[in-house]
A = this chain, B = another copy of it.
Amino acid sequence: MWDRSRCSVAGTLAVVGEKWSLLVLREAFLGVRRFADFQRILGAPKAVLTDRLTTLVDQGILRRVPYQAPGERQRHEYRLTQKGIDLHPVLVALMRWGDQYLAEDGDVPLELRHRDCGEPVHLALVCDAGHELSGAREVQAEPRVQAR
């Protein structure tokens, strides 16, 4: 077996796995940028939110951008970096599973569409030969072979 302590899953969770982090990112993907909006929508304690935003900025997942609303002093808002945008599949995967197994009457699932053609979009495992796999059972995991 291989070394699990440095597994990428554990690493990623160490960065974005704390409470509220992924919810902050979900909101960021939906266009939320300001502290007060994150706070109002999520209902997270301000202290925790401050902490999560700072770590996300430190990790290069969000960046702080100054802005000035008319009649207000300069403040800064939080925007996704490319590194943050690349977490999109994680959120889509979490959302998909929730839609599938946790939906209740009255819930309006969020639908993702291809901006270019308008068709609904789903997450899929695709192999380099172009096959779309039907599920986890078709996947074989192994450590990448390396020269020594």
- Contact in complex: A8, B110 (CB < 8 Å): yes
- Contact in complex: B110, A131 (CB < 8 Å): no
- Min CB gap A19→B, angstroms: 8
How many Å lie between the Cα of A3 and that of B104 in the bound state? 13
The interface centre, meaning the residue of A9, A126, A144 with most chain B CB atoms within 10 A of its CB, is A9
- Contact in complex: A124, B127 (CB < 8 Å): no
- Contact in complex: B85, A113 (CB < 8 Å): no
- Contact in complex: B90, A97 (CB < 8 Å): yes
How many Å lie between the Cα of A112 and that of B125 in the bound state? 10
Binding site for B on A (CB under 8 A): 1-13, 15, 17, 19, 22-23, 26-27, 29-30, 41-43, 83, 85-104, 107-117, 119-129, 131-133, 135-144, 146
- Min CB gap A46→B, angstroms: 18
How many Å lie between the Cα of A98 and that of B7 in the bound state? 8
Task: List residues of chain B with CB within 8 A of the CB of A136.
Answer: 29, 85-86, 88
Q: Can you name 11 A-B residue pairings with CB atoms under 8 Å?
A: A4-B42, A85-B135, A112-B140, A115-B138, A115-B139, A117-B131, A120-B127, A121-B125, A121-B126, A123-B125, A124-B126
